[in-house]
Amino acid sequence: VAMPEGFALVLRNLYAQPFGCQMRRGYHLHVGDFNGTVESLASHNAVTQSLYAWVKEATESVMYDVTQQNTAVSKLAGLTNARWQHANFANAAGSHLVAVNGADNMIWVQPNGSIVTVGAGDGTGNTISGIDPKALIQVYSHQKRLWFVEKNSTRGWYLPPDQITGVARSFDFGPLWTAGGKLAQIITWTIDDGDGADDHLMAISTEGQVAVYKGTDPDGADTWGLQGVYFCGAPVSGRRFAVRYGGDVLAITQFGAVYMSDLLKSTKVNPNQDNSARYVQQLISGAV
């Protein structure tokens, strides 16, 4: 009741414009009639753009190419679940799509559209050594490296720069977290640390503690360093609670919609006046 004009708790089928609201113009069904529920979508942004959907069916999950309207082409069947986390990753060979789900081998869509699965091995061919890809629940591109989250652990895993397979090495964030918990998500946070904006690696625990690291090479003491450990509130369950929002990171936690930049100001559930989520913070916190 105390919100000023220009804000709304719910804005349904309307787009906010500088001089008022524009009505949404409806939608077209792209692909339908699946024998199950679509639980993940991934866009592969290579020379041509492709769209993939993972569908949970009665006895299995299936990956479909749904690039063309009204056309679903089965690419991989017999998958354990349809909850896949993905990242687009570019190197000298082109733009790749990498996806993991914590139960099946990693899926690698190559620049030419070929789809291969990456399993455990010695790091040669389509394999990764050090960790079984079936144990990976998150994948993220940070400072020219692929980073992964190992399920039910406090460890992140990273590959050499520009590589999609090879020898993975681990980094344990657990000793930094006094509240315990497991590693839930890794994401990039862009911070101005006095020398201009720089991408930092943010590791978020299931108990809401956030470890922030600066650097490009975790193997070197002079190229990798802890910047701080913060508390953002325990995140909602699942593997998709945080997202990049401009140069910031926005997470849904027990404190509401938390901007990670607010952690530096210790605002918690009473965000500063620049935080546009302040009007819904208590409602989200109550729902969580």
Question: pLDDT for 91-112, tens place per residue?
Answer: 999 999 999 999 999 999 999 9
End-to-end CA distance of the chain: 22
Count the alpha carbons within 13 Å of 83 in the hemisphere toward its beta carbon.
8
Question: pLDDT for 189-227, tens place per residue?
Answer: 987 655 556 889 999 999 999 999 999 999 988 999 999
Are residues 128 and 75 in contact, defined by beta-carbon separation less than 8 angstroms?
no
Residue 278 makes CB contacts below 8 A (sequence gap 6+) with 270, 271, 272
User: Looking at residue 47, what is its pLDDT?
Assistant: 86
Total number of residues shown for the chain: 288
The amino acid sitting at 40 is: S
**Mean pLDDT across the stretch 172-195?**
88
pTM score, two decimals? 0.90
Dist CA 90 CA 45 (whole Å): 10
Dist CA 157 CA 38 (whole Å): 28
Question: pLDDT for 34-50, tens place per residue?
Answer: 999 999 999 999 989 99
Phi, psi angle pair for 176, to nearest 5°: -85, -15
Question: pLDDT for 211-267, tens place per residue?
Answer: 999 999 999 889 999 999 999 999 999 899 999 988 889 999 998 888 888 887 754
